[in-house]
């Protein structure tokens, strides 16, 4: 039995600071760039449309004013939760294309509603190069929701974002597994103190991506199901520099593919979101093509014949050039050493476009831009760095880039 994937665009930039005083982040263009590389046809996915974001306008926001765009993010999160819930109600597997990491608030709200409906808790597997755990309790001020999303969805922060519809937290600390943060993440000790389970890159690489996926599933065995958040900055900037806050020491595409396949290869996985890819830093579309190759291969267990529909369990016991980041405290970082030489393997032609259906999207203000398409036959990286090898990039110092 095939498990139908439904692709929903969430092209929001609202959680990011502007790259410069007169510019707008490019993450809102990501869904169009990925679609233009044949993502839906190759997944044989249903087109669930696009939830257009409110206008990006920081106005006269200043540090100390709380999270920028908070009212707009809150409203967008409610609408996104509605759309995700409708996909799950159809028995489908949602793939949400961000946009920045603030899309997690909408996904989290949908999961909390779902958990309430089935009488169980829903967990979160948070695959990200940064912990995104900045909040008023550990920082002098907040501002960019995309650098604070994990804190917000676990109930830390201003109520209009952390307690939408009076729900707080959307995910309990014990129901969150964080994978892929850098070993020296600024908030790693805060995660530990909160009881949030983590596996940074060195441990992930030592254990292997497949075993890490199984381990993450085991941590959430008491949950009725779980959601998967993937920020592509979990990848090393030597292979994926097209993000708002590139940080050396990440994983390779092959590792992400294996990790994703392991996480979704269970009926307990309820859906996946992909965030922070910025096509403005991908002028020839090469990184978009690599992301699509990885996502298609990683979601093969869901789309393949014999896959099963999502199953909710009863509730368990309560238990380019270097840039300064626009969501995370960071200063300019080195691009890292060149990516290791790798073998290549042809992907082959994409699936026939007849597998795509369109579902009209409701009207909303805003928009995104497409990218140029690339034909079949692209080559992709398949080698995984040795477990004992050093991270792809070099370690870098971090400062406060939120102002």
Taking the complete model, does pTM exceed 0.85, yes or no?
A: no
Domain ranges in the chain are 5-381
Task: Determine whether 221 is exposed, middle or buried from the number of CB atoms within 10 Å of its CB (0-12, 13-18, 19+).
Answer: exposed
> Which pLDDT does position 80 carry in this prediction?
99
Q: Rounded to the nearest 5°, which phi and psi values hold at 47?
A: -85, 110
User: DSSP characters for 100-111?
Assistant: STTHHHHHHHHH
Please, which pLDDT band fits residue 3 given cuts at 50, 70 and 90? confident
- The helix or strand, by DSSP H or E, that contains position 98, with its residue range, turns out to be strand 93-98
Encode pLDDT of 202-216 as tens digits.
Answer: 999 999 999 999 999
Name the more confident of 33 and 325: 33
- Mean pLDDT computed over every residue of the chain: 83
Give how far Cα 354 sits from Cα of 52, 234, 319, 391, Å.
26, 33, 46, 42
Q: By percentage, how much of the chain surpasses pLDDT 70?
A: 75
Distance between CA atoms of residues 39 and 36, nearest Å:
7
- Taking residues 23-38, what's their average pLDDT? 97
> Which pLDDT does position 63 carry in this prediction?
86
- What is the dotted CATH code of the domain comprising 5-381? 3.40.800.10
> Which pLDDT does position 310 carry in this prediction?
63
> Which pLDDT does position 20 carry in this prediction?
85
Q: Rounded to the nearest 5°, which phi and psi values hold at 10?
A: -130, 75
Encode pLDDT of 241-284 as tens digits.
Answer: 999 999 999 999 999 999 999 999 999 999 999 999 999 999 99
Distance between CA atoms of residues 231 and 229, nearest Å:
7
Contact 241, 335 (CB under 8 A): yes
> Would you say residue 189 has pLDDT above 50?
yes
């Amino acid at each position: 039995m095939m498990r139908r994937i439904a692709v929903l665009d969430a092209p929001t930039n609202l959680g990011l600071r502007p790259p410069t005083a007169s510019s707008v982040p490019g993450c809102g263009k990501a869904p169009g760039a990925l679609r233009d590389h044949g993502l839906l046809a190759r997944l044989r996915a249903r087109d669930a449309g696009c939830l257009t974001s409110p206008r990006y306008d920081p106005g006269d926001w200043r540090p100390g004013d709380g999270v920028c765009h908070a009212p707009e993010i809150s409203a967008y999160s409610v609408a996104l939760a509605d759309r995700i819930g409708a996909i799950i109600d159809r028995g489908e597997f949602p793939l949400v294309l961000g946009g920045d990491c603030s899309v997690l608030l909408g996904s989290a709200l949908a999961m909390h509603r779902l958990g309430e409906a089935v009488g169980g808790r829903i967990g979160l597997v948070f695959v990200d190069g940064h912990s995104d755990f900045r909040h008023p309790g550990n920082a002098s001020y907040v501002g960019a929701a995309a650098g604070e999303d994990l804190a917000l969805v676990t109930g830390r922060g201003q109520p209009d974002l952390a307690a939408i519809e009076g729900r707080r937290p959307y995910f309990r600390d014990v129901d969150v597994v964080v994978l892929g943060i850098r070993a020296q993440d600024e908030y790693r000790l805060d995660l530990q103190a909160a009881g949030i389970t983590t596996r940074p890159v060195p441990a992930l690489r030592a254990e292997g991506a497949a075993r890490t996926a199984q381990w993450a599933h085991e941590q959430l065995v008491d949950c009725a199901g779980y959601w998967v958040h993937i920020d592509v900055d979990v990848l090393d900037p030597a292979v994926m520099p097209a993000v708002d806050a590139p940080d050396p020491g990440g994983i390779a595409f092959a590792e992400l593919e294996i990790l994703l396949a392991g996480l979704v290869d269970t009926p307990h996985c309820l859906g996946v979101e992909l965030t922070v890819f910025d096509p403005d830093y991908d002028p020839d579309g090469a990184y978009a093509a690599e992301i699509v190759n990885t996502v298609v291969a990683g979601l093969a267990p869901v789309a393949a014949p014999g896959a099963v529909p999502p199953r909710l369990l009863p509730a368990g016991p309560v238990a380019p050039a270097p840039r300064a980041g626009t969501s995370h405290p960071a200063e300019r970082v080195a691009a890292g050493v060149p990516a290791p030489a790798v073998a290549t393997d042809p992907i082959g032609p994409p699936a026939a476009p007849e597998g795509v259906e369109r579902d009209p999207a409701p009207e909303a203000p805003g928009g995104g831009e497409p990218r140029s398409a690339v034909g079949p036959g692209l080559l992709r990286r398949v080698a995984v760095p040795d477990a004992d090898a050093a991270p792809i990039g070099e370690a870098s110092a971090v400062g406060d880039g939120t102002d």
